[in-house]
Amino acid sequence: MAKIRFMALEQLASRESSGAKSAKPSALFADDVFTMSKMRTYLSIEAYRKLEKAMAEGEPIDRSLADQVASAMKAWAMEKGVTHYTHWFAPLNGATAEKHDSFIDLLPDGTAIESFDGKLLIQQEPDASSFPNGGIRNTFEARGYTAWDPASPAFINNGTLCIPTVFVAYTGEALDFKTPMLKALAAIDKAATEICQYFDKDVKKVYATLGWEQEYFLVDEALYNARPDLKLCGRTLMGHQSAKDQQLEDHYFGSIPGRVTAFMEELEQECHKLGIPVKTRHNEVAPNQFECAPVFEEANLAVDHNQLLMSTIKKIARKHRFRALLHEKPYKGVNGSGKHNNWSLMTDTGVNLLSPGRNPKSNMQFLIFLVSTVKAVSEYADLFKACIVSLGNESRLGGDEAPPVVMSVFLGQYLSSVLDELEKKVTDRKMTPDEKTELKLNVGRIPEIMLDNTDRNRTSPFAFTGNRFEFRAVGSSANCGGPMIVLNTAVAKQLADFKNEVESLVENGVKRDEAIFQTLRQYIIDSKKIRFEGNGYSREWLKEAEARGLSTEQDCIPSLRAYISEKAKSLFVGMGIFSERELEARFEIKNEIYMKKLQIEARVMGDLALNHIIPIAIVYQNRLLENVRGLKEMFGDASFYAPQLENIRSVSSHINTISVLVDEMIEARKKANTIEDMVKRAEEYTEKVRPYLEKIRYEIDKLELMVDDEIWPLPKYRELLFSR
């Protein structure tokens, strides 16, 4: 199974066999990864073959083989000066977790040795009681365990041997992203392979592929340190817009500033050593916003690599005296950061199933995968939305070039017309053979047309881009595992349904080609409501989307309910991805995380308002007062100090409003905190606490424009966005 997963790695790491280091980036590639080719060196031939076979067939690895792999890993790692190892996993707080253990062990005679065996490789029992568990694991029975995922290779990071693992409760429920994602990837493999078998008996396996595009901001370290909101919330809670930001569109693809280039070069080098095939780097639309993207990989590996990339970006940024902001909307009024998930399906024979073929047969296949994906988004639109919403993404979606919160699929003019035609052609009668050929030929023209079809709709949350779908609504700080679970499960379900429908038609005497056309047509009709080619920002779309029955809910908390809907339960439980309890736990965790982040923001806002902004505003107010007193003494005539008086009134009024609002916000928070039920508390926070953040900000941003720049306590947007 894992063979293809390693293919990209192996290809890019081919220099390994060539030995000597050169200056080429490929020379470093996967230097810190225990790749298959390294295993070949460190394992006996027999053990290597056994491992390869077990991985290819997805079978469990027995203890004696695990012992051999562990000892090979240890030998390799120790040669590189490594002394510690850790199981590396992705708990539901969205971060990655590791608990380091030393290789060191004591023999009965008191001498120390380095040891690492199969048992330690395969499984650990971290006392991980403080990871979010949504009620699955009480703290008094805090045992969870991590188990090796042989499909993702071990690597060395920060001098520690990291072993990618799943993380589950002692009772078996998943507490991470990887466990259900591996199940979803297995489900899509099965369903897609069965469809491929209609066309090519050689296809034995289908892999989901993922190429993420990671957007982020850099900010100078000193400025960052002077902004408690950036430090504690990852975003600015206040700050008046800079006179110039992105309106001239002069940052996008502009030349990359020297200090940033140095950072990027080191980041890329570090990524390459870790086997992350980053390839593209450029400036993004907002000032100080950047993007990096890799060559796509098998989805499980790509998800691990994105997690690793996020921590590496942060690490390298610090070395260059920057801080990296992965928050979806660090600055109001300029573009936020997303993480487009480019997704497709690839057979073990090397065919991209979402790439239009050059002959009628492969185009039939293409259409099945295309239409089933569209149908999956249509059927489970609410889940597609639920898996990407978060407190951070809430402020990104719907503005400044991010997609709106309404789910829709963009296919581009040409494919839309192909689907429309297919739908019409068979409305009330069977297609004639000529029509079928014509249709297949039309589809056959897609590749050429797609090539120069740069018809990109930036406002679409889910767009077809020639040979893949691009899920653009995903937030920049998210673990891609969340969307990958929903997308692969939903499409797997549609493909399985597709096959069942075709087969039942065939059983009733319909020819298979005809059965496929009929089912396609039905799917096209059923999923029409999700297709949208227009401007996702327009008011008309919001209205129309509502009329189409699509969710236009703007808020995160109500959108999360999709996780516990009957539809979600029947999908996930039916496909064997989540139990009901696991779904409920995930729902609760998402509510909890949202609520806690909002709580932190409200606290930081209160602190900044009371301890930073108001005192400075008072200092300024006193200066004005003194000034007025002096003017009055000297001139007596009110016309001499009228503008200052007006200023004093204004400053005072903002100060008063801020204090009242902060008091009210604190009260609202206290009240919300008494609510036991996590979901209700999150709702209360959304409704009663959240609005204060904007209201208080408004007043503070006005003050920022009045108070003497010299004493204003926080770095301003123009500094944060333009210093580098």
Question: By the criterion CB under 5 A, which residues form the site for Mg ion?
Answer: 340
Total number of residues binding ligand ADP (CB under 6 A)?
Answer: 15
Within 13 A of 152's CA, how many CA atoms are on the CB side?
A: 31
- Out of 11, 14, 102, 280, which residue is the one contacting ligand ADP (CB under 6 A)? 280
CB of 401 to ligand ADP, least distance (A): 12
| Contacting range for ligand ADP; rule: CB under 6 A; set: 290-298, 429-437, 445-453, 688-696 | 290-298
CB of 302 to Mg ion, least distance (A): 14
Question: How far apart, in whole angstroms, are the C-alpha atoms of residue 316 and residue 300?
Answer: 24
Question: How far apart, in whole angstroms, are the C-alpha atoms of residue 146 and residue 125?
Answer: 6
CB of 411 to ligand ADP, least distance (A): 16
CB of 469 to ligand ADP, least distance (A): 9
Residue nearest to Mg ion (CB): 340
Indicate whether 467 belongs to the interface with ligand ADP (CB under 6 A).
yes
Q: What tokens were used for 108?
A: 């009965």
| Residues 658, 700 contacting (CB under 8 angstroms) | yes
Indicate whether 338 belongs to the interface with ligand ADP (CB under 6 A).
no
**Other C-beta atoms within 10 Å of 431: how many?**
18
Indicate whether 283 belongs to the interface with ligand ADP (CB under 6 A).
no
Closest CA to 156 of 313, 269, 37, 33: 33
**Other C-beta atoms within 10 Å of 589: how many?**
24
Identify what 352 binds: ligand ADP, Mg ion, none; CB under 5 to 8 Å per kind. Answer: ligand ADP
- Out of 31, 173, 189, 213, which residue is the one contacting ligand ADP (CB under 6 A)? 213
List of residues 6+ apart from 201 with CB closer than 8 A = none
Identify what 187 binds: ligand ADP, Mg ion, none; CB under 5 to 8 Å per kind. Answer: none
The residue count of the chain comes to 724
Identify what 468 binds: ligand ADP, Mg ion, none; CB under 5 to 8 Å per kind. Answer: ligand ADP
Q: What tokens were used for 246?
A: 């992105």
Q: Is 146 helix (H, G, I), strand (E, B) or coil?
A: strand
Indicate whether 293 belongs to the interface with ligand ADP (CB under 6 A).
yes
| Residues 55, 3 contacting (CB under 8 angstroms) | yes
Indicate whether 344 belongs to the interface with ligand ADP (CB under 6 A).
yes
Indicate whether 551 belongs to the interface with ligand ADP (CB under 6 A).
no
**Other C-beta atoms within 10 Å of 272: how many?**
21
Residues 136-195 that bind ligand ADP (CB under 6 A): none
| Contacting range for ligand ADP; rule: CB under 6 A; set: 85-93, 227-235, 339-347, 424-432 | 339-347
CB of 291 to ligand ADP, least distance (A): 7
What is the enclosing helix (H) or strand (E) of 290?
Answer: strand 289-294
CB of 657 to ligand ADP, least distance (A): 43
The residue whose two tokens read 């006392």 is 127
Indicate whether 18 belongs to the interface with ligand ADP (CB under 6 A).
no
- Out of 85, 155, 167, 343, which residue is the one contacting ligand ADP (CB under 6 A)? 343
Question: How far apart, in whole angstroms, are the C-alpha atoms of residue 698 and residue 701?
Answer: 5
- Out of 96, 342, 378, 390, which residue is the one contacting ligand ADP (CB under 6 A)? 342
| Contacting range for ligand ADP; rule: CB under 6 A; set: 187-195, 342-350, 446-454, 542-550 | 342-350
Q: What tokens were used for 21?
A: 């280091």
Q: What is the DSSP letter of 538?
A: S
**With 0-12 CB in 10 A as exposed, 13-18 as middle and 19+ as buried, what is 44?**
exposed
Residues that bind ligand ADP (CB under 6 A): 209-211, 213, 280, 293-296, 342-344, 352, 467-468
